[in-house]
Amino acid sequence: MDRRQFIVASTATLVAAASTRAGAEEDPHAAHKKQAAAGGAGQGWVTNAAVVEAAADCGRAGRVCLEHCIALLRAGDRSMARCSETVDAMLPLCAAMEALATQGSPHAKAIAAVCAKACRECEAACKEHASHHEPCKRCMETCQRCGAACEKMAA
């Protein structure tokens, strides 16, 4: 093989490899889209969007409410004790619910029942303070929404 043949053959090989690679790179998510269209695994965040969103919102509002309760407890306001206890119990359950629902875990339904109960208890405790503490009002509202979404999933 002379130099000219080598260059032509090398160029042809590179062009073929580049066109094959370019075709493969057109849609790197094609396999994922095909799986999603077929209703495949890994689509929990789509299937359970309402629970995922409700649990995430509840967690965010709950963290703010808990910090508010702690600040008031430090200042001597013991009326926030029950509120802080229920929020503290609800937070890890909402985090677990969000994660399991996102994954489409088979355990999500069981956790949904427990999370709903914790959200309803937190909602009741925050309701006592909702008229004069904005963080409690927001927590109560998000617990109400998350509780309903979890109850629906658990049913």
The answer as to whether 109 is a domain residue is yes
The parent domain of residue 69 ranges over 45-154
Which residue type occupies 80? Answer: M
Contact present, 108 and 100 (Cβ < 8 Å): yes
The answer as to whether 10 is a domain residue is no
If you average pLDDT over every residue of the chain, what do you get? 85
Q: In the numeric block, which tokens belong to residue 38? A: 């077929």
The answer as to whether 138 is a domain residue is yes
Name the pTM for this structure: 0.73
Domain containing residue 119: CATH number: 1.20.1270.360
The answer as to whether 39 is a domain residue is no
Domains contained in the chain, number: 1
- Whether 111 has a pLDDT exceeding 80, the answer reads yes
Between residues 99 and 16, the one the model is more confident about: 99
Alpha-carbon span 113 to 66, nearest angstrom: 23
Query: Of 95, 145, 92, nearest to 120 (Cα)?
Result: 145
The answer as to whether 8 is a domain residue is no
The answer as to whether 1 is a domain residue is no
